[in-house]
A and B are shown apart, each in its own frame.
Chain A
């Protein structure tokens, strides 16, 4: 056995860095799901009737649906009656009114994760909404954003304070009956983030939400809704972590983006849910529906994702390009190591004239992982002059992993241009040896080569997070070359 492979063995033993559990009292519903549970969640949140009705409609529809099985992922059937659909850290009285009233243990948890919630902290210039299990615990920089007219708050707050906006936009892009997991989320979602940027406003800072699953046997079903009114622009980043547990935990989120005329939404994700151990035990099942609609002319929605976590990733951030000249972008790095399974990609639906989309997907597989790109480019008859460019590259590290690419294209307008490029490469022994011969360690060399591979995607991340993403990538792949 070569020294190189021994090193690899040692390095592969690296641990998930966010796998701790916070010992905090929580207020949870017992496992199980029926109309009573849906109603109980709605009641706990003191929701208006339209929302309860909306949830119940989703739930009734969900019961008629089957879990999808077309994705290239394998897992034991999920027992939806064995999951608790609501868990909230128990606050002494009511919800905290300011950060000073937030349970110090929670603040400590976020500090451990590297997300200090105090406004004077390191991430100055980034407003953070932190969601712990089912509820939002704190949103920073509310005042500064308020001055600019930007609404950035937890979903629950939005329901309380801006019910008109919620009623108008909720489900506009992802209807409650859209798919199995979206329907489930619509029935039981407990919190999430809400952003409204009014006409002509450029959001003065990066917005960010951190999601953390803490309680055992709990699902997390958050919902994010972002609306950019005419001429507005906003950049939003979500990050996710979870403790290490032997059982799998379900995360089924829905994200909806609405971009009106001349507006821009940039949505970045750094997903680092617990991926399970090196034998594939435990980890988060991440079944997420993310979709943006460019409703207005000249609007633009850009998805950037760095997916390194989860046992299973099932997500296809998509753009519905309705407005004339609207633009959709998808930049993705998906890493799968050990027994992780990732089935991810995007859908670009071109409806308006001269709509344009770009897809750049970089898949990295190591260990026994399965990494699938699944994408759809659909050009409707109305989309004269539409253009798409797709590039899918896969990088394989080691002999036991696999990469799959399923690009679907439906072009129904003859004036459209659709380009597709794909490549699969193994991390080159030659590249590795070249770096070693220059004195660079195997680990640094792999990081360097992989970062080079992902560079075009990292360039799209907000500056503050590009570094974080790169670090995350190296943690996920430490020693994965064989």
Chain B
């Protein structure tokens, strides 16, 4: 589904990614871990098409298409979803309105008719219940005045409504208490399926207790320095990141 080879990118003249190689197949869940400043968020942003990041080398294909030549909104419509680490507030723009516009943009790109307002509301109510969100959410502005946890739940809610093929979740677990973490994990797990893939960018192993990854990668210095199965995450939790870097040098 996603194939990244030798991807390098810089922002404001500074090289952040220095040759990332990664292959994610449909049906898989990958976790990307690594210390602060290792380039995890940059990788997520580059894949989503943020223009501030300049790709200097390498290629990315998404379902056989050249992802890097697509604009951010085209990537989204093609089924790539980014759950933001810091979801932005858009005052005065209703949550439901944004979500409906997003869903319709995607349907339009796929040649499908716009969603019926009534059905949409029913859908969103159902997903909200699943994510244990209050009805008040319907009338509020996008992330306006939301707590950190509410923002993350909202990201997952959007993901569930948009049903992306590839979901990249950038530290969706950070700042969540244990109950919220469980809800968010349940949401992510509900999206798992043979046609979809999930990339979890995370700092901690605890999310991976609830969303079991097929592969775990360690990103350091802008490239993937170690890959393994879920036991790698447990080892990282126990031993920290230093041993990975040391073993790499050795």
Contacts and interface: CB of A to CB of B under 8 A. Distances in A.
B93 interface: yes
Contacts of B50: 433
Nearest to B141: A452
Interface string B136-177: 000001100000000000000010001000000000000000
A435 B143 CA distance: 13
Contacts of B48: 433, 437
A439 B73 contact: yes
A435 B92 contact: no
Interface in A56-76: none
B105 A441 contact: yes
Given A436-B73, A439-B73, A439-B77, A4 B88 contact: no
A420 interface: no
Contact of A456 (B84, B90, B92): B92
Q: Which has the most chain B C-beta neighbours within 10 Å: A439, A448, A452?
A: A439
Interface in A1-45: 2-4
Contacts of A431: 88, 90
B98 interface: yes
A448 B92 CA distance: 9
Interface in A65-121: none
B105 A449 contact: no
Contact of A440 (B52, B87, B91, B105): B105
Interface in A439-454: 439-442, 444, 448-449, 451-454
A444 B103 CA distance: 13
Interface string A447-479: 011011111100000000000000000000000
Nearest to A453: B92
A436 B91 CA distance: 17
B217 interface: no
B225 interface: no
B237 interface: no
Given A434-B87, A438-B162, A449 B93 contact: yes
A448 B82 contact: no
A439 B75 CA distance: 8
B182 to A, nearest CB: 26
Interface in B39-92: 48-52, 71-73, 75-77, 81-82, 84, 87-88, 90-92
Nearest to B74: A439
A438 B109 contact: no
Given A433-B50, A448-B97, A438 B92 contact: no
Contacts of B91: 452-453
A448 B101 CA distance: 10
A144 B77 CA distance: 52
Contacts of A452: 90-93, 141-142
B92 A444 contact: no
A253 B7 CA distance: 63
Interface in B92-111: 92-93, 97-99, 101-102, 105-106, 109
Given A2-B51, A434-B84, A434-B87, A439 B102 contact: yes
Contacts of B101: 438, 440, 444, 448
Given A440-B98, A449-B90, 12 more contacts: A431-B90, A434-B88, A434-B90, A434-B142, A435-B102, A437-B73, A437-B81, A439-B105, A440-B105, A444-B105, A449-B93, A452-B142
17 contacts: A431-B88, A431-B90, A433-B51, A434-B88, A435-B102, A437-B48, A437-B73, A437-B82, A438-B158, A439-B73, A439-B105, A440-B73, A440-B98, A448-B97, A448-B98, A452-B92, A454-B92
Interface of B: 48-52, 71-73, 75-77, 81-82, 84, 87-88, 90-93, 97-99, 101-102, 105-106, 109, 141-142, 158, 162
**In the complex, the 7 A-B pairs of residues with the closest C-beta atoms, listed nearest first:** A452-B92, A452-B93, A438-B102, A439-B76, A455-B92, A439-B105, A436-B72
